[in-house]
Amino acid sequence: MRERIRLEKTIVTENDRLAAALAERFDRAGLLVVNLMSSPGAGKTALLEETARRLAGRLRMAAVDGDLATDRDARRIARAGMPCRQINTGGGCHLNGRQVAQAIEAYDLADLDILFIENVGNLVCPASFDLGEHRRVVVASTPEGDDKPVKYPVAFRRADCIVLNKIDLVDATGFAPAAFRGFLRDLRPGAPLLELSCKTGEGIDAWLDWLRAEREAVGRRTVPSPQ
Amino acid sequence: MHEVALAHAVWRQVAAEMRKHADRRLTKVHVVVGALSGAAPESLEFALGLLVAESEWPHAAVNVRQEPVVLVCRGCGNEYPMHEMRLTCPACGGADVEPVRGTELRLESLEVE
């Protein structure tokens, strides 16, 4: 007898399970975890370098950094004062829960205020792989063009904060800030947009304020586990 | 995106369901892919086809359907389809909106005999 069995079940992937376990661990430790995504070269590492220098001694921070090859980014971030573990993905185009779980073994999470996960430079795949983070930040930059949000909607739609870097190059690149803001408003209404330059330092304070506020928000939400 | 990994996740759930119907034969798998899920329907259908061919029901068909995005506005209650990557509410211009369909990957149904 032919029959159709209705299921309507959401597909749970292996990474979804790993991400849920990481999220629980991050909540227990009481720190803020930020997943940074962008195209290659938008300035994720530069943003972390600036963050390390400016918040040194005020917040306890560490990072893990994903790239196909080399530990160049981890060394840059460490030189700026933030401990950083490099994850080399080989050919992998995004970080997954297993790689992050392994990399954070180096840290005592309870001793940190913020953990940054610098994803592999790629605006497509990282957006589909949760890493248990509290906040997703998408970094765009003016040389990439002002229509990035509509061309990569999956990444931008789920961003909790959008950083527009290299704002000092607006004139040189012909980037139209109003168009970018419009695309973003349509796709991710209400999310903060922070326009800044890691090179000149313009706008960086707003980013640091955002981080402090989110750190506070997550800290309040986290209930310390009973002794 | 990563449709081979997704196909394996779908297939695990199909196999789990079929274990509950051990006396039946699988003839078709229906999967729904949200337009904002990040998964490409054609690639997922292809990858699932490979797993089906290796399974105990090698002749089962696979249907992967893309589902358009539908949003609801928390401000005015309007429910509307997403148009050209614009999420804001066309009725009131509100920005406090939530997708109710079109973001997930779902095993919709199985046809058996």
Question: How do residues B6-23 score in pLDDT, each as one tens digit?
Answer: 999 999 999 999 999 999
B66 burial via Cβ count (<10 Å: 0-12, 13-18, 19+): middle
pLDDT at B5 over 70: yes
Backbone φ, ψ for residue A68 (5° rounding): -65, -40
| Per-residue pLDDT at B1 | 58
- ipTM of model over 0.90: no
B96 touches chain A (CB under 8 A): yes
- Report yes or no: B76 at the A interface, CB cutoff 8 Å: no
pLDDT of amino acid A226: 46
Rounded Cα distance between A162 and A149, Å, is 10
**B27 touching chain A per CB within 8 A:** yes
| Distances A170 to A125, A143, A161, A182, A184 between C-alpha atoms, Å | 28, 8, 20, 16, 17
pLDDT of residue A10: 94
- Say whether pLDDT at A223 is over 70: no
**Tokens at A171, concatenated:** 């004139």
Q: Which of A137, A130, A159, A135 is nearest to A18 (CA)?
A: A130
DSSP lists the bridge partners of residue A34 as A116, A135
Q: Tell me, what's the pLDDT at A227?
A: 43
Cβ pair A185:B85 closer than 8 A: no
Residue B96's pLDDT band (cuts 50, 70, 90): confident
Q: Cβ atoms within 10 A of the Cβ of B53, count?
A: 12
User: Closest to A11 (Cβ–Cβ): which among B9, B21, B112?
Assistant: B9
Task: Tell whether the model's pLDDT for residue A52 goes beyond 60.
Answer: yes
Give the mean pLDDT of A47-57: 97
Q: What is the pLDDT of residue B92?
A: 93
Q: What are phi and psi of B45, to 5 degrees?
A: -65, -40
Mean pLDDT of B25-29: 98
Average pLDDT over every residue of A29-45: 97
Q: Please provide the average confidence, as pLDDT, over all residues in chain A.
A: 94
- How does residue A186 score in pLDDT terms, banded at 50, 70 and 90? confident
pLDDT of residue B67: 95
Q: How confident is the model at residue A222 (pLDDT cuts 50, 70, 90)?
A: low
The percentage of chain A sitting over the pLDDT mark of 70, rounded to a whole number, equals 97
C-alpha separations of B53 from A74, A110, B56, B60, B109 in Å: 44, 48, 8, 8, 19
Q: Determine the pLDDT at residue A148.
A: 95
User: Is the per-residue pLDDT at A86 higher than 60?
Assistant: yes
pLDDT given for residue A221 in this prediction? 65
Q: Is residue B2 within 8 angstroms of chain A, CB to CB?
A: yes
Strands, sheet with A135-141, edge to edge from the N-terminal-most edge strand = A84-88, A61-67, A114-118, A32-38, A135-141, A161-165, A193-195
Specify the pLDDT at position B95. 83
- Whole-number Å distance between alpha carbons of B113 and A74: 56
* High-pLDDT (> 90) share of chain A, %: 91
Picking from B1, B10, B36, the nearest residue to A11 by CB comes out as B10
Residue of B nearest to A128 (CA): B38
Listed residue (B58, B48, B55, B56) closest to B108, CA to CA: B48
Q: What residues of chain B lie within 8 A of the CB of A127, using their CB?
A: 38
DSSP string, B26-69: EEEEEEEEETTSS--HHHHHHHHHHHHHTSS-TT-EEEEEEE--
The answer to whether residue B56 neighbours chain A at the CB level (below 8 Å) is no
pLDDT band at residue B85 under the 50/70/90 scheme:
confident
- pTM here is 0.91
3-state secondary structure of A178: helix
